[in-house]
Structure 1
């Protein structure tokens, strides 16, 4: 409601001493005095700041104007009851929290202390007021923060334990209860050693004392260290532990984040066993492929040679069907001979001991051109290359890699085409990315990832000769050099084969 002008006979503070007036005017807390009718007699500058009124607006008016409901309606009755009975609920008390109402109508929390005094034969009351809005807001923020932290501690899937400087457990969240089998109540105040098997159990207190004396830590401040824990039933298990240190008013505390890695360790052990069995199986398979292909060479060579003799010397004695059958036998034997040769080369990649050194890829490319000179001449292919780097690797294998990719690019060309091959090198942060591009027939996107599989052919042998092992050999060579190989292609638009080689080698080849 609007404030009316104060009556002309409103009391003033002119009679107070200069010291009292100085205190009144400069007090940090709000000071209000009222008479026994609730009429405001004085209103200091701190009150002006708190309520938004200036003193001249409020002096001479009932104190109710500064009160929201229900205090506004009840105040006069309360004051009358006090004067009649002498019973007080607030007067004489210190620091009671109530609500006030500012000039703009906003309601806020305040801390109120009221005392009674007599002057000129009448009762007067002095109120000391402190706006606690910010304090209440900070309390709310603190409660909200504590609530969020409690919710996080309660709901996190990782175990969380806090201990004091003596190693006594202070916090033990539900995830820890599930991990260790203890309830939080069982472990409250107990030493953290109860969760540790030997030798950690015996050494922990000494370690904690040494840390507090010297500041030297082995685990505190580190993340993800694997240690062992002990459950309530006595069983031990592997766990991932991170520990941090923090300080509160009552001392130093340590917080441990715990993750039970029993299943992860079991899965890792199983994976390692599977990998070992797979390696043994691959080794055995490579050995078998090597031995089989090696031992098959001679009988296949005999079949090819004798079928060729039959074709050359005895075909006149055969009818047309016989000559056709003989040609099929001879061509099949030659094809099988090529397959066994390539299979032997593929199997050798897993058996040969690699000698790594500096390899100049530009020099290797020149060797490839010499090796494929007849194919290059007959096809009319043009080969362009950007400067190629010196890398660490096997000169024999990297020569074979380039030779297979270039021969492949020449082979898969449309009829009457003018083949062009471009070789580029793109330096990356830690590796070289080399590309071999052609303008050949291309590969469907459905099959582009399959071309590196052994014996994978996208055309019949009669259409384009080959064994289907050339690109599989390329992949094996690149992987043995810690690189990757892939292709981009589409039908009619040629193909680009990419492979990467590390700029530096941090470990010896496997």
Structure 2
């Protein structure tokens, strides 16, 4: 800058053309305005013309207050005089936000940075002026979102001081906003947990990252009245001009915790009721067997010893009694078998399914040979479970597959695939199939789709399979259509190499 421009020379390196400084100011992205100690404008750049709508000639020599709304001019004059009394650099965004005034009278928010310039003709101040309308619009939108958030939102700095809260924070903790700003975040935490929380906070700022709701330690919040309540917190790092801050979304989970306790109590009561019911079924079934055996025995004796004294109708009725008693005995035996599954604590051990299937085929040899059946299978893995239950599972499914293939040479195919830490087994047949509406019902105890005259059985076999699989932490289901056979699926845990015994 030279004397010919009416602007004092500002100290520059001798080898730098002063015009470079003028060009630098002219091309700056912010409006640049230089004023003297009297507040007169002595320099403006093109961006200042565009920002305020004045030409350069209209601005030069005028008071800087012409760019300030009338209602703020007196206060601005005091601030300007105070700045010249103690000049210092003030960065963009520091201090009070100011409105600017355009030539047409419209007002808009501005951010201003100030830099004092000492020259041989006195003190000048360079103001860099930026239209803050977009930023203010974004801030307003951010604050609106903040205020309408369903969770309490708290923003803290790296020292743990609260910098911003929303209305939900006031409602949740019982504090007024002004009484929280600037306070340590630990004010919202029970006293006995504050030192530990401060350590966690310091650790978070060492390695800030997004932490979702419900992840990490469960915390307690403390209201202004001293009451405590359980909270879940999500954390997100926030980059600011003052460094990394953190945004915390805080949710009161009192109701959810109460519901979880009720659910846990209900589950425990249900488990206890199931144990009692199984115990009752076991005892009742066991005690019913003796009188039932007597009923069958005496009916048969009556038929053998007194057949000549009874007419045909009486013998027929005795036959019905014996047949019904035997059917009842089968149901009681099935109920006992069902109640025995997972009735006591079991030990889970590695179970070789190849060996299990060999035992099942051996036990069913008479049935397989009489039906000329074919059992094929893929190489079977080792699973973690209770061996006799796994044997019963395979036996029930293979028996079921053979039973519902009425034609000659029934075929059963067993396959398996690894799925993470589990094995997915399938047992497929080419039998009569099952309608979709019965896919769940067949796994319920004593549920039959066909009369015993067509297919013998008690309706307990698949219910036992379901109970065994669920006892092993898996699940069982069926894919089937009438006339297209059935594929029974079940999932069991794999046994890692070297796995030892583990209590269920």
Same fold per TM (> 0.5)? yes
Whole-angstrom distance in 2 between the partners of 1:450 and 1:313: 45
Cα 1:446–1:290 change in 2 (3 A) is same
Is 2:438 the partner of 1:447? yes
The equivalent position to 1:360 in structure 2, one of 341, 352, 355, is 352
Q: Which residue of 1 aligns with 2:465?
A: 474
Compute the displacement of 1:245 (Å): 5.6
Preserved contact between residue 335 and residue 460 of structure 2 (Cα < 8 Å) = yes
The equivalent position to 1:327 in structure 2, one of 292, 304, 319, is 319
Cα 1:197–1:429 change in 2 (3 A) is closer
- Which protein has the larger Cα radius of gyration, Structure 1 or Structure 2? 1
Cα 1:189–1:497 change in 2 (3 A) is same
Count of residues in Structure 1 that have an aligned counterpart in Structure 2: 415
Runs (5+) with no aligned partner, structure 2? 6-14, 28-44, 68-99, 104-109, 113-126
Whole-angstrom distance in 2 between the partners of 1:425 and 1:172: 56
Question: Which piece of structure 1 moves more, 214-223 or 304-313?
Answer: 214-223
The equivalent position to 1:27 in structure 2, one of 23, 31, 34, is 23
Q: Which has the higher contact order (CA 8 A, sep 6+)?
A: 2
Whole-angstrom distance in 1 between the partners of 2:354 and 2:191: 61
The equivalent position to 1:159 in structure 2, one of 142, 152, 158, is 152
Question: Which piece of structure 1 moves more, 187-196 or 227-236?
Answer: 187-196
Q: Which residue of 1 aligns with 2:479?
A: 488
Q: Encode CA deviations 1:436-465: one digit per residue, 9 max, x unaligned.
A: 111111111010111111111111222221
Is 2:502 the partner of 1:508? yes
Whole-angstrom distance in 1 between the partners of 2:216 and 2:203: 25
Q: Encode CA deviations 1:399-440: one digit per residue, 9 max, x unaligned.
A: 1111100111111233x4442111111222322111111111
Cα 1:208–1:254 change in 2 (3 A) is farther
Preserved contact between residue 211 and residue 217 of structure 1 (Cα < 8 Å) = no
The equivalent position to 2:293 in structure 1, one of 301, 325, 340, is 301
Compute the displacement of 1:214 (Å): 12
Q: Which residue of 2 aligns with 1:123?
A: none
Cα 1:184–1:478 change in 2 (3 A) is same
Is 2:225 the partner of 1:229? no
RMSD: 4.0
Q: Secondary structure at the match of 1:332?
A: helix
Q: Encode CA deviations 1:197-235: one digit per residue, 9 max, x unaligned.
A: 23135x37xx64897699779999794431111223332
Q: Which residue of 2 aligns with 1:421?
A: 412
| TM-score with structure 2 setting the length | 0.71
Compute the displacement of 1:313 (Å): 3.6
Whole-angstrom distance in 1 between the partners of 2:200 and 2:344: 54
Question: Which piece of structure 1 moves more, 302-311 or 188-197?
Answer: 188-197
Q: Which residue of 2 aligns with 1:147?
A: 140
Task: Kindly report which structure 2 residues correspond to 1:125-274, keeping only aligned pairs within 5 A, or say none.
Answer: 136=131, 139-164=132-157, 167-200=160-193, 203=195, 208=198, 223-243=215-235, 248-250=240-242, 253-274=245-266
| TM-score with structure 1 setting the length | 0.71
Question: Which piece of structure 1 moves more, 281-290 or 390-399?
Answer: 390-399
